[in-house]
Amino acid sequence: MRPRKRATGKSRKPSCGGISRDGKDGPGPTQPKRRPKSAAPAARILEYVIVHEMAHVVVPTHSRKFIDLLDAHYPFWREARRELNDLPLSSAS
C-alpha cells in the first residue's frame, strides 16, 4: 500500500469570494467576480429542485398526488421548472 500524497493546495482554483490578498472581503485582483445575472431566478430554481426532491420522499412517482403536493407547497413550481428547462446543459459554447 502506497502512502497518500499530501495535498499542497497549488492545484486548487481561487474561490470567487472570501478574503482577498489585500485582506479585504470579496474577490481580490486574481479572483474574478462571477455571479449569475440575477440571484432571484437561481434561488427560485434551487428552491424548486429542493421542494421537488422532498416531495419524492412522500410520493416516489410523478403521479397526480405528487403534482398536488407540489401545488400545495410551491405554487409557482411550473414557472421554476420552465426556467430550469430553458437553461443550457453546458456553459461551453
46-90: per-residue pLDDT in tens? 999 999 999 999 999 999 999 999 999 999 999 999 999 999 887
pLDDT given for residue 55 in this prediction: 97
For the chain, which residues make up each domain, given as ranges?
40-86
* Nearest CA among 81, 45, 84, 88 for reference residue 66: 81
Q: What is the pLDDT of residue 28?
A: 54
pLDDT 10s digits, 28-45: 555 545 544 556 788 999
CA dist., res. 4 & res. 11, Å (int): 16
Weakest mean pLDDT among 5-9, 22-26, 33-37, 64-68: 33-37
Q: Cα dist. 18→25, 27, 49, 54, 77 in Å? A: 6, 7, 27, 31, 33
Per-residue pLDDT at 35: 46
DSSP string, 21-35: TTS-BS--TTS----
Position 89 scores a pLDDT of 83
Global pTM reads 0.54
Residue in this structure with the C-alpha cell 419524492, named with its chain if needed: 56
Is the pLDDT at 18 greater than 90? The verdict is no
Read off the amino acid at residue 16. C
